[in-house]
Structure 1
């Protein structure tokens, strides 16, 4: 694709993480339809991972433009949800660095990554009240979480994170992060 002055626009690999998709009967979106929408936007190699709103694709745009265009496309198709977009390079680096709370015997579902819509600082995360035995740490623009008793029993919910960080977030377990990184 040509840019200004005949230059070729750089094609980037992106990961889109849709917030609160396919949880129970809420915000239903078949992954085949998500792949179709990505293709309709003119983006290449659309692939999805699991059924929870994770997609990998290439586009000749910047991450911010991708997020806006995809959110508008989703809204036009009846789904109003936030879209967190990261580069494939960023996700590969997160996976390669490992989860800071990983330890022998700790299962991936207990290791989560919260992807904020807007940047948060380590100071915001450090000041956030963290209930029970859970732990939260900001690193590489994301919030790494450890739920020793599992996510289902925690009070460190997405709503809690959003309220104290002041921005929408979507969470993925570290196994999903690694799977998406491999797709990139």
Structure 2
């Protein structure tokens, strides 16, 4: 049986980028995915893709743009990759909702990693491990200087963040 994959959509259901989860499930099924499920309303899809996970992610991005008018990135991760990211979290977990993994669409260059890790994010902590950024927010993501546009500028690679609770839930769904 093929493996399930979690697709983490960047910046959906915020700022007018409406992607209803029922429509996302229908789209994934229409594209040939099986065992399709979503988790919460922030763009988390888990399914068995019909072939290569990256190729399916690209088809999903195109379908979302065509059907819903939203441009996004669909970043694939297997259950094993989600578990490894959670296990690699390098900071003390004071509250799961303040501890995130920022999943990148590709591995940043060594120069980009240095730029991210050297940037002054105040009390927030950030470490790059592989193609993920691990973030410990001092007081939550809402007022943090760690923002998606800043991370994109520093990394040069699009990504999307999920708190540790969501990472664990998606890993369980993908197993």
Q: Same fold (TM over 0.5)?
A: yes
Quote the residue 1:48 is aligned against: 38
Root-mean-square deviation (CA, aligned residues, Å) is: 1.7
Question: Which structure ranks higher in relative contact order (CA pairs < 8 Å, sequence separation ≥ 6)?
Answer: 2
Determine which of 66, 84, 107 is the counterpart of 2:95.
107
Structure 1 unpaired stretches of 5+? 1-9
Could you say if the C-alpha distance between residues 60 and 11 of structure 1 is closer, same or farther in structure 2, counting changes exceeding 3 Å?
Answer: farther
- Residues 122 and 139, structure 1, Cα contact 8 Å, conserved in 2: no
Structure 2 spans left out of the alignment, 5+ residues: none
Structure 1 pair 55–157 and aligned structure 2 pair: CA distance change class (3 A): same
- Return structure 1 stretches of 4+ with deviation > 4 angstroms: none
**SS of equivalent to 2:6:** strand
- CA deviation map 1:129-178 (0-9, x unaligned): 13201111112421000111211121111111001001211111111111
Q: 1:152-163 alignment to 2 at 5 Å?
A: 152-163=142-153
Partner residue of 1:137 out of 127, 130, 133: 127
1:123 Cα deviation from its structure 2 partner:
5.2
Confirm whether residue 117 of structure 1 aligns to residue 105 of structure 2: yes
C-alpha distance in 2, partners of 1:148/1:123?
Answer: 26
- C-alpha distance in structure 1 between counterparts of 2:163 and 2:113, whole Å: 18
Q: What is the alpha-carbon distance in structure 1 between the residues aligned to residue 128 and residue 169 of structure 2?
A: 21
In 1: Cα distance, 2:62 partner to 2:142 partner:
31
How many equivalent residue pairs? 171
Distance 1:12 1:130, change over 3 A: farther
State the TM-score, normalizing by the size of structure 2.
0.90
Instruction: Map 1:87-102 to 2 at 5 A.
Output: 87-95=78-86, 97=87, 99-102=89-92
**Residues 63-84 of structure 1: CA distance to partner in whole angstroms, max 9, x if unpaired?**
2212111111111112221111
The answer to whether residue 136 in structure 2 is matched with residue 146 in structure 1 is yes
- Alpha-carbon deviation of 1:121? 4.4
User: Shift in Å at residue 93 of structure 1?
Assistant: 2.7
Distance in 2 (CA, whole Å) between partners of 1:135 and 1:33 is: 36
Q: Say whether 1:34 aligns with 2:8.
A: no
Q: Which entry has the higher C-alpha Rg, 1 or 2? A: 1
